[in-house]
Amino acid sequence: MYKVLVSDPLSEFGIQKLLDAPDVEVVRQTGLSESELINIIAEYDALLVRSQTKVTAAVIQAGKKLKAVGRAGVGVDNIDLNAATNAGVVVINAPDGNTISTAEHSFAMLMALARRIPMAYKKLVDGEWDRKSFTGVELNNKVLGVVGLGRIGAEVAKRAKAFNMKVIAYDPFLTEERAQKLGVQYGTLDDVVARADFITVHTPLTKDTKYIINTKQFEKMKTGVRIINCARGGIINEKALLEAIQSGKVAGAALDVFEQEPPVENPLVGLPQVVVTPHLGASTVEAQENVAVDVSEEIIHILRNEPFKNAVNLPSVPAHVLEKVEPYFKLNEKLGEFIAQTAVGALKEVVVTYSGELTDIDTAPLTRTTLKGILSYHLGEGVNYVNAPALAKSRDIHVTEQKSNYSGGFTNLVSVTLKTSQEEKTVSGTLLNGYGARIVKIDGYSIDIVPQGHLLLIHHNDRPGAIGRVGTLLGTNDVNIATMQVGRRDLGGHAIMLLTVDKEVTPDVLDTLGELNEISSVIQIEL
C-alpha cells in the first residue's frame, strides 16, 4: 500500500483518483510547519502540494520513501528541484490544467475591451446613465493577431473564429502546414502587428520575447488597434504601450499581467482606455480542480512504476546508463541551444546523430536533453527533460535519433541537425579529455570552441583584412574578443568566424558588423 500526503487544501474532486485507487492510502493534513512536515514525511511515498507547503531540501532528505512530489499548478518555486533530483524524487506539475481557463479569460478581456464594458459598468453604478460615451466595435470580420500559438493561443484562435474573426498568427514553431491545420493564417511578427485589429500575446517570457511588442512594433500597427495580454508581464513594453495609447495609435488595452505585480503606481492602471484584472487567468474552479486531477493521476503512475509525464526535473535513468551518459548532458543541451539560435524559419525536424563510443549506449536521455535545449530557447523555463518530446510532437516537429560509424576522428561525436521551413543547419560537438565540451563543426566548417558565454557567429568571404576589420570594429565599440576561431573549406571562398566576447553586443554594433563588405551574416548567440 502506497501512502500519499496531501498537505495543502485540495478539493475532493481534485484528488478523487487517488482516493479511489485500491493501492493508495491518502492522508490530508494541512497547515503543517516545516518541522512538523519533516517529522512525518518519512512514512510517505508521495507528497501533493499547492503553493502553501514549502518542500525544502530538509523535507526531501527526511522523506526516505519519497518517490514523487506533485504540485497542483504550473509553478514549482516552492519545491527545491535540485534536492529532489539529487534524491531521485520526481517532481511533477500540471501545465495543461489552466489552458481553457486562461484562453477564456483572454477572450473575455478582448470582448470587454471591444465593448468597453468595465468603463460603462462603473459609470452606471456611480449613478450616471451614459449611452453615448461607450460606443464599441464589433469583432465580426476583424483581424485577430495571435503572437504565440501554443496551447492557449490555439484555444483563443478557435474562439475568435467562432466570432467570425480572421486570425493571423506568429509563432517561432509555426509552419504554414500547421497553420492550415489550425485554420489560421501564417505570418511573421511584422505581418501580425501590421494587419491585426486586435493583438493578443501568448508566449512565455524569455530573453527573446521580453518586450517583443515595443515601440517599433507599435509604429507598424494600425491606428486604433487594441492589445490584450493575459500571458506574462514584460512581453509588452508597458512604457511603449502607454505612449501608444496617449498618442492615439492604440485605442485600448486589456491587461491581466504586469511587469511588476501588484502594479504599484503603474500609469496604465486607471486609464479610461485600459481594462485590468489582477492575474486571474487561471482563477477558475475548474482550473484549480483540473490541475489537482492531472497531478493525482501522474502520482499514481509514478508509484506503480508506469509511464508518466510533466516531470520538471530529470526523469529516472538506470544507474548504469546514467554513469555513461551523464558527462554528455551539458554538451547536448548546449548544442541544442546553439543551433536553435542560428536557424531561420519554423522548426520542422530535429535529427540527433551519435558516433563513436556513443553508439553502444542508450542515448534517449541525451536526445531529450538536446530537444530541451532547442525548445527552451523559444519556450523558456516551461520546457523540461520529460515534456520536451511532447511539446515537439504538439508542434508537429519530427525528432529522429541516429547512430553512425563515422566520428570524424573523435572518440565520440554528437551532431544535431535542424530542418526548418527555410533551411537546414548542423552543429557537432564532442568531449575532450581534460577539456570538456567543445563545438567542433558548424555546417561542415571545422571549428574548436567552448560552448558557453557570449558568442558571435559570422559568415564572411575569405578575403585579406576581413578578420581585422571585424576585430577593429568590435574594439572601437569597447567589445573585447576572448577567443576567435575561423573555419573555411576553400581558399578565398566562403568561411565562418566564431568569436567569444566578454559582453553582449548591442544591436547597433551587430548592424554595423553586418554592413561590412565581406560579411554576409552576423548572429549573436548566448549560452
With b for 16 or more beta-carbon neighbours within 10 A and e for fewer, the 32-61 pattern comes to beeeebbeebeebbbbbbbeebbbbebbbb
Three-class SS state of 26: strand
Contact 349, 174 (CB under 8 A): no
Give pLDDT tens digits along the chain (527 positions): 999 999 999 988 999 999 999 999 999 999 999 999 999 999 999 999 988 999 999 999 999 999 999 999 877 878 998 888 778 789 999 888 889 999 999 999 999 999 999 999 999 999 999 999 999 999 999 999 999 999 899 999 999 999 999 999 999 888 888 899 999 999 999 999 999 999 999 998 888 899 999 999 999 999 999 999 999 999 999 999 999 999 999 999 999 999 999 999 999 999 999 999 999 998 899 998 999 999 999 999 999 988 787 888 866 566 667 778 888 989 999 999 999 999 999 999 999 999 998 998 889 889 999 999 999 888 887 787 767 887 898 889 999 999 998 888 888 999 999 999 999 999 999 998 878 899 999 999 999 999 999 999 999 998 889 899 999 999 999 999 999 999 988 777 899 999 999 999 999 999 999 999 899 999 999 99
Q: How far apart are CA 92 and CA 385, in angstroms?
A: 12
Does the N-terminal peptide bond of residue 307 adopt cis geometry, omega within 30 degrees of 0? no
Decide the pairing of beta strands 250-255 and 347-356.
Answer: unpaired
Please provide the average confidence, as pLDDT, over all residues in the chain.
Answer: 92
How many Cα neighbours within 13 Å face the side chain of 107?
Answer: 19
Active site residue 232: yes
Contact 327, 98 (CB under 8 A): no
Residue 525: all three cell numbers together: 548567440
Q: How far apart are CA 313 and CA 297, in angstroms?
A: 18
Active site residue 261: yes
pLDDT computed for residue 319 by the predictor: 63
What is the phi/psi pair of residue 179, to 5°?
-60, -40
**Marked catalytic residue, from 28, 115, 151, 279:** 279
Query: Is this structure's pTM higher than 0.85?
Result: no
**Marked catalytic residue, from 138, 176, 177, 261:** 261
Residue 78: all three cell numbers together: 516552492
Domains of the chain: 2-95+286-303 (3.40.50.720), 99-276 (3.40.50.720), 317-451 (3.30.1330.90), 453-527 (3.30.70.260)
Q: Among the residues of 224-271, which ranges form H helices? A: 238-247
* Residue 197 region by backbone torsions, left for phi larger than 0, else alpha for psi between -120 and 50, else beta: alpha
**Marked catalytic residue, from 116, 202, 232, 378:** 232
